[in-house]
């Protein structure tokens, strides 16, 4: 991985779904560069291709055409195995519906990706402890997802996304299932990540979430129709985000 390349660099990105008459161009010739430390918000009407774009950026789907580069490495041509490994180690996903493992405690949900990345139980526990503290849920470590509120579940999902110190966090309508108070809880964490220099791409319908970003792109019919640098953009401190190293 190259330190100076953009975290995300996408060229001529195309994704078709379906065949023949029913064929949809979900992503239609998109170019995108996301520099290290940028928080990018993506907005647009339902069905315009936002989720497909995120899936392509994170290697969950492969493009029909074009290239996807992550920190200087081309990922759309990787083998399934290499791609799975890259997703596990370098990308943190946050979904609207949380997708926590219901049988595992909050802490175990955060430990899981650390273990899957081949690290020790001890290291997994250490990281989960730090991350739960960071999202303000140390006291809920042993709770099951069903025993937590929506806002708390999503904060656990964010902690899980950060567990392997990903190059980029990709969030797909992370506040879409949350009420206003819970949205603010999650928003506060995204603001913190942004100030700490975490590279983030957030698909959102929520103006408040978009307003915390450095940059806003608007999508229609698989294309970018607007790309705006937001007034709130500021230079941020460098250094360890979650303090997982050492
Ligand atoms: P958004 O997240 O903006 O709502 P999506 O990326 O989910 O949009 O979908 C973009 C377009 O691609 C829509 O027309 C949708 O119906 C279509 N689409 C998405 N995923 C699939 C799929 N797996 N198979 C067929 N069509 C799909
Ligand atoms: Mg979507």
- Say yes or no to pLDDT of 223 above 80: yes
Proximal ligand: closest to the CA of 222: 1
Is the minimum distance from the CB of 48 to ligand 1 under 6 angstroms? yes
- Say yes or no to pLDDT of 64 above 60: yes
Mean pLDDT over residues 121-130, rounded? Answer: 98
- Say yes or no to pLDDT of 46 above 80: yes
Per-residue confidence (pLDDT) for residue 237, from 0 to 100: 45
Q: Whose CA is nearest to atom 11 of ligand 1?
A: 26
Is the minimum distance from the CB of 46 to ligand 1 under 6 angstroms? yes
Is the minimum distance from the CB of 17 to ligand 1 under 6 angstroms? yes
pLDDT tier, 2 (very low <50, low <70, confident <90, very high otherwise):
low
CATH number listed for the domain at residues 8-244: 3.40.50.300
- pLDDT, tens digit (0-9, with 9 covering 90-100), for 151-203: 999 999 999 999 999 999 999 999 999 999 999 999 999 999 999 999 999 99
Please state whether beta strands 215-220 and 223-229 pair in parallel, antiparallel, or not at all (unpaired).
antiparallel
Per-residue confidence (pLDDT) for residue 36, from 0 to 100: 96
Ligand 2 centroid from CA 172, angstroms: 7
Q: Average pLDDT over the chain, rounded to whole?
A: 93
Per-residue confidence (pLDDT) for residue 53, from 0 to 100: 98
The residue whose CB lies within 8 Å of the most ligand 1 atoms, and thus the one to mutate among 26, 62, 225, is: 26
Mean pLDDT over residues 18-35, rounded? Answer: 93
Ligand 1 centroid from CA 195, angstroms: 32
Is the minimum distance from the CB of 49 to ligand 1 under 6 angstroms? yes
Proximal ligand: closest to the CA of 28: 1
- pLDDT, tens digit (0-9, with 9 covering 90-100), for 69-123: 999 999 999 999 999 999 999 999 999 999 999 999 999 999 999 999 999 999 9
């Amino acid at each position: 991985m190259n330190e100076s390349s953009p975290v995300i660099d996408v060229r001529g990105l195309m994704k078709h779904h379906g065949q023949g008459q029913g064929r949809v161009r979900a992503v239609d010739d998109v170019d995108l560069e996301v520099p290290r430390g940028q928080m990018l918000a993506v907005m647009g009407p339902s069905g315009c291709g936002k989720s497909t774009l995120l899936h392509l950026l994170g290697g969950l789907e492969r493009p029909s055409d074009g290239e996807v580069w992550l920190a200087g490495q081309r990922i759309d041509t990787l083998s399934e195995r290499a791609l799975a490994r890259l997703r596990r180690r370098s990308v943190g996903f946050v979904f609207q519906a949380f997708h926590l493992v219901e049988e595992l405690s909050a802490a175990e949900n955060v430990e899981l990706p650390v273990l899957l990345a081949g690290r020790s139980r001890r290291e997994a526990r250490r990281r989960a402890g730090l991350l739960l503290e960071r999202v303000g849920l140390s006291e809920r470590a042993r709770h099951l997802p069903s025993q937590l509120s929506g806002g708390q579940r999503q904060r656990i999902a964010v902690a899980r996304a950060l567990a392997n110190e990903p190059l980029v966090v990709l969030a797909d309508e992370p506040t879409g299932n949350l009420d206003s108070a819970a949205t603010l809880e999650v928003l506060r964490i995204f603001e913190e990540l942004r100030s700490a220099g975490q590279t983030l791409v957030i698909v959102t319908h929520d103006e408040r979430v978009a307003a915390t970003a450095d940059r806003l792109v608007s999508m229609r019919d698989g294309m970018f129709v607007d790309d705006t640098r937001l007034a709130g953009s500021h230079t941020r401190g460098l250094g360890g985000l979650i303090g997982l190293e050492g």
